[in-house]
Structure 1
Amino acid sequence: MPDRNPLPAPPLLKPSLPPRPAVEMQRRGELRVEKFLDAATEVFNEKGYQSARLSDIVKRAGGSLATLYRAFGDKEGLVHALMEKSIHDFGQSLEELLRSPLPPQQALEQAACRMVEEILTPARIACHRIVISEGLNQPALRDWFHAHGVEPMEALLSRYFTRQTRAGTLYIDDCDRAANDFYMLIIGGLILRSINGRIDASNIPQAQRDACAAVQLFLNGALPRS
């Protein structure tokens, strides 16, 4: 059934927050940029944000420091680029949820499985480690990630729950709250375990089974039915 009252797409950026530094991203340099991002993911995961040096990243990726500075500006710009890529990939899974013709349980299980895959990528783990370890020292970076990577995802979930409630396939009285609860139920614990090294991409199959069980708990609750 088509949505007769389409909701406006949630904003991707908060006007009150500055965008990440402008960088030079030319098509002929896309391969080099990807190599820098891959190398940065490895170095950040191995050494942490503070101990990671741009020279270490260049050594693994090839190229030069001058090329890295032209592409990203500095180490913070490199982290922003890494976050942007991860946010884009994660957002695609929820965009697919909005387009899904499946009943809510199947659609949400599929979305949860895609979320698990993205959360356990090395790049996303690196982003979460940086945000959590550097949150107090670099609140602007922490708040940027939350504004661009968490709030828009919850807005997409809220939009889905609102649409399904209007269609009569779900009954949720506070879709914004439900979106936050769903987000944390599915990936909150996953984030904590991945940043401390207890799980990684090798654990995706079990993590997806756990996510599907969490979807059922979210939809059915725990109280006995009369």
Structure 2
Amino acid sequence: MALLPTMSNRHRPNTSETGKPSLPPRPAVELQRRGELRVEKFLEAATEVFNEKGYQAARLSDIVKRAGGSMATLYRAFGDKTGLVHALMERSIDSFGQSLDELMQSPLPPDEALEQAAYRMVEEILTPARIACHRVVISEGMRLPELRDWFQAHGVEPMEALLNEYFQRETEAGRLYVEDPDRSAHLFYMMVIGGLILRSVNGRMSPDDVPHAKQQARLAVRLFLSGVLPRT
């Protein structure tokens, strides 16, 4: 029985449309139900250790010591340290994707809907788990290109694709005027969270800074909307 939820299809890139080869998924977890709590503790401990020591210096023995359990259980659940990072990424990607799922389903006008989505994006970006993921991707991207590309293909491109779809829909409905939805999706994404990613990775921002980050996100949404609201 798989303990860790796999990412829903809505957050997976459509390789037939992108033309990119699909990347290999993280090995499936094969533990019994009684091991679920232990797996959760492994993920919590891994988040702490990766944030404190970085990916290279983090040892699986440190994670096991902090979480309890055994090295054998950790290996059976995640395979290795890279598999553990994959599991953290999957969790964060699913959580982050919920903010854009809600945007797609929102009955609110674009200014309110985008502001709410931006707040949710900020909340997830500044979670300890997401910060750990970004630190690994940025610091180890050159050495672990498959991990870096997996995160980009599963954690970034599908989110921008949802924004692209939203901007197209709202433009067709006459509520927005977005000339290039694809590029605008990337710009909106980076305006809201690009700076937060850098500052959280280098330690200048933490989960305690969510209120301030939301103020910045609100301004980013307003600046973006000033360029895409319908002309009268």
Deviations 1:143-176 (A, max 9, x none): 0000000000001111111110111100112111
* Shift, 1:10, TM fit: 5.6
Q: 1:47 aligns with which of 47, 53, 58?
A: 53
Pairing 1:192–2:211 present: no
Is 1:209 aligned to 2:228, yes or no? no
User: Considering only aligned residues, what root-mean-square deviation do their CA atoms show, in Å?
Assistant: 1.7
Give the aligned partner of residue 12 of structure 1.
12
2:181 corresponds in structure 1 to 175
Given the alignment of the two structures, is residue 23 of structure 1 paired with residue 40 of structure 2, yes or no? no
Distance 2:225 2:164 in 1: 15
Spell out the pairing of 1:33-44 with structure 2 (5 A cutoff).
33-44=39-50
Equivalent residue number for residue 121 of structure 1: 127
Q: 1:164 aligns with which of 146, 162, 170?
A: 170
Partners in 1 of 2:11 and 2:88 — Cα distance?
Answer: 20
- How many pairs align? 216
Please say if residues 24 and 71 of structure 1, whose CA atoms lie closer than 8 Å, have aligned partners that are also in contact. yes
* Cα distance in 2, alignment partners of residues 59 and 106 from structure 1: 46
Query: Take 2:196 and 2:202, find their aligned partners in 1: how far apart are those partners?
Result: 10
| Residue 87 (structure 2) pairs with residue 81 (structure 1) | yes
- The 1:136–1:187 alpha-carbon spacing in structure 2 relative to 1, beyond 3 Å, is same
Asked if 2 retains the 8 angstrom alpha-carbon contact of 1:154 and 1:180, the reply is yes
Counterparts of 2:150 and 2:42 in 1: how far apart (Å)?
21
Percent identity of the aligned residues?
74
How far apart are 1:29 and its partner, in Å?
A: 1.7
Indicate the residue corresponding to 1:3 in structure 2.
Answer: none
Counterpart AA for 2:111: Q
Which deviations, in whole Å up to 9, do the C-alpha atoms of 1:63-108 show, x marking residues without a partner?
0000000110110100000000000000011100001000000000
The secondary structure found in structure 1 opposite 2:30 is coil
Determine the C-alpha separation between the residues in 2 that align with 1:116 and 1:16.
Answer: 28
State which of 148, 153, 156 in structure 1 corresponds to 2:159: 153
The alpha-carbon distance between structure 1 residues 18 and 221, as it changes in their structure 2 partners (threshold 3 A), is: same
For structure 1, the residue ranges without an aligned partner over 5 or more in a row are: 1-8
Q: Is the 8 A contact 1:118 1:124 kept in 2?
A: yes
CA distance in 2, matches of 1:188, 1:176: 17
What letter matches 2:120 in structure 1?
A: R
Match of 1:112 in 2: 118
Question: For residues 185 and 11 of structure 1, what CA distance do their matches in structure 2 show?
Answer: 21
Q: TM-score, normalised by structure 2?
A: 0.89
**2:96 counterpart of 1:90:** yes
In structure 2, the residue corresponding to 1:59 is in which secondary structure?
helix
1:10–1:155 contact (8 Å) kept in structure 2:
no
